[in-house]
């Protein structure tokens, strides 16, 4: 009998991915169906439903659930099931008009030019895109990458139950890292773990990430280093490079019996607090009892306060999730302490001064962030040794040295410590 936390809203995982003859039959049928083109975000959401990471969803949301999720974090059609971000599929108005209610359609991934699944259309509806953005992203600023995605959606949403026939390129490209929830749960059970803390990563693992993971291991049976291998915004480090960098750190500086690495195919929305809740939902499905929530979880720019992603867990119903957050304070390297520390433990408040050659010139706290690390590496500037382990820096230097065109990385206030 498993002692792992139950999946979200269900006694068991509910993957929608077909295999064997059922998959072959569905693919053959899909070839003759009208194709609905999907964006990369919609494709990744479909795969998450396919592997059971979005248990207990059975398809893309209709209007009532879209409204309920936006306004109340709840799906009325599933007895008020807690859900923090709409999972929807859009189409252009003229194309949606050609699709009848009750019609089966093929779900077509535009980027890979492949059939990903099928859907029986139960509903067609329009939405107030700005309302969704205000609720989910707390802004309608088109410069926000998540807002931009929503505003570029087709005018009509299509809803209905889905069948999934493909996981795209993820199992092959990220072999050994990409995992379905059932696979992660099996590993945790084989190790005899009951409590598992998930560490969300979209950046290479710098010193603060490692410090948070080590703390989590002290209070849980193990840590699940769970990195996003889906699509990111320009300037972020590609998943294959990040996987290599994280491998270099984990393999040398962690006890192998206390850490598991995994990858998941969702695309970042950069929704800050709301996305932290979505990360909690699917980490519970992966078997995690806790989620490490740092100062700017899933944020971008200055759209969210440094601890908003922690505060939101106290604003939802106490029974919304079985998974609990591990709220961590701002962490940094302190030259006075001679170690990693946090606002809760370190009494030295002065900011460390680093010259243009990466040399320490005085002060105590060296604030670490993925954004700062990317900026230093992209500009070819030296990275202070306290920022990350040399094995990680070596991997990143190799990547940045071969780039012909570099994307400018802008620092926001929370990454530099100028806002709090």
Q: What domains, with CATH codes, occur in the chain?
A: 20-168 (3.10.400.10), 171-264+270-328 (3.40.50.620)
The whole-number pLDDT of residue 380 equals 85
Q: What totals of helices (H) and strands (E) does the chain contain, helices first?
A: 15, 19
At residue 269, φ and ψ (nearest 5 deg) are: -105, -20
Please tell me the distance from the alpha carbon of residue 234 to that of residue 341, in angstroms, as a whole number.
Answer: 31
Please tell me the distance from the alpha carbon of residue 10 to that of residue 170, in angstroms, as a whole number.
Answer: 26
**DSSP 8-state class, residue 193:** -
The whole-number pLDDT of residue 379 equals 85
The whole-number pLDDT of residue 412 equals 52
Please tell me the distance from the alpha carbon of residue 69 to that of residue 86, in angstroms, as a whole number.
Answer: 6
pLDDT at 362 over 60: yes
Average confidence (pLDDT) over 283-295: 96
180 is catalytic: no
Q: Cis peptide leading into 97, omega within 30 of 0?
A: no
Residue-wise pLDDT for 197-210, tens only, equals: 999 988 888 899 99
pLDDT at 415 over 50: no
What's the mean per-residue pLDDT of the chain?
93
The catalytically annotated residue of 41, 180, 185, 203 is 203
203 is catalytic: yes
pLDDT at 150 over 80: yes
Whole-model pTM over 0.85: yes
pLDDT at 236 over 90: no
Enumerate residues 6+ apart whose C-beta is below 8 A from 362: 350, 352, 353
Residue 277 to residues 273, 293, 298, 310, 378, Cα–Cα distance (Å):
7, 10, 10, 9, 31
The catalytically annotated residue of 41, 180, 202, 365 is 202
Region of poorest pLDDT, from 20-34, 54-68, 227-241, 314-328: 227-241
Pure H helices in 272-369: 273-285, 308-311
């Amino acid at each position: 009998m498993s002692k792992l936390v139950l999946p979200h809203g269900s006694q068991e995982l509910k993957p929608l991915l077909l295999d064997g003859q059922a998959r072959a039959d569905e693919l053959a049928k899909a070839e003759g169906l009208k194709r609905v083109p999907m964006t990369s975000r919609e494709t990744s959401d479909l795969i998450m439903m396919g592997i059971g990471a979005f248990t207990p969803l059975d398809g893309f949301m209709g209007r009532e659930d879209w409204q309920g999720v936006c306004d109340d974090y709840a799906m009325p059609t599933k007895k008020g099931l807690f859900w923090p971000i709409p999972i929807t599929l859009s189409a252009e108005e003229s194309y949606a008009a050609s699709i009848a209610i009750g019609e089966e359609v093929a779900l077509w991934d535009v980027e890979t030019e492949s059939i990903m699944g099928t859907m029986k259309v139960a509903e067609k509806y329009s939405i107030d895109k700005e309302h969704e953005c205000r609720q989910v992203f707390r802004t309608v600023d088109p410069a926000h990458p998540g807002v931009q995605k929503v505003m570029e959606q087709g005018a009509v949403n299509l809803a209905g139950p889905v069948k999934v026939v493909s996981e795209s390129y993820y199992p092959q490209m990220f072999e050994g890292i990409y995992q379905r929830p059932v696979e992660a749960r099996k590993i945790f059970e084989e190790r005899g773990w009951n409590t598992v803390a998930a560490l969300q990563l979209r950046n290479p693992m710098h010193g603060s990430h490692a410090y948070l993971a080590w703390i989590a291991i002290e209070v849980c049976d193990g840590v699940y280093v769970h990195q996003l291998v889906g699509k990111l915004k320009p300037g972020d480090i590609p998943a294959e490079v990040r996987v290599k960098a994280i491998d270099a750190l984990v393999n040398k500086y962690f006890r192998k019996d206390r850490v598991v690495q995994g990858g998941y195919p969702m695309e970042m929305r950069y929704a800050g607090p709301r996305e932290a809740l979505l990360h909690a939902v699917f980490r519970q499905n992966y078997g995690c009892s806790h989620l490490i929530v740092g100062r700017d979880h899933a944020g971008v720019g200055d759209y969210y306060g440094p601890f908003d992603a922690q505060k939101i867990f106290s604003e939802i119903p106490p029974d919304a999730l079985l998974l609990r957050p591990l709220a961590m304070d701002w962490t940094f390297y302190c030259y006075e302490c001679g170690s990693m520390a946090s606002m809760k433990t370190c009494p030295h408040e002065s900011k460390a001064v680093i010259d243009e050659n990466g040399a320490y010139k005085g002060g105590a706290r060296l604030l670490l962030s993925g954004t700062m690390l990317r900026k230093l590496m992209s500009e070819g500037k030296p990275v202070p040794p306290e920022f990350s382990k040399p094995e990680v820096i070596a991997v990143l230097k190799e990547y940045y040295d071969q780039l012909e065109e570099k994307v400018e990385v802008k620092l926001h206030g929370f990454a530099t410590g100028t806002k709090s």
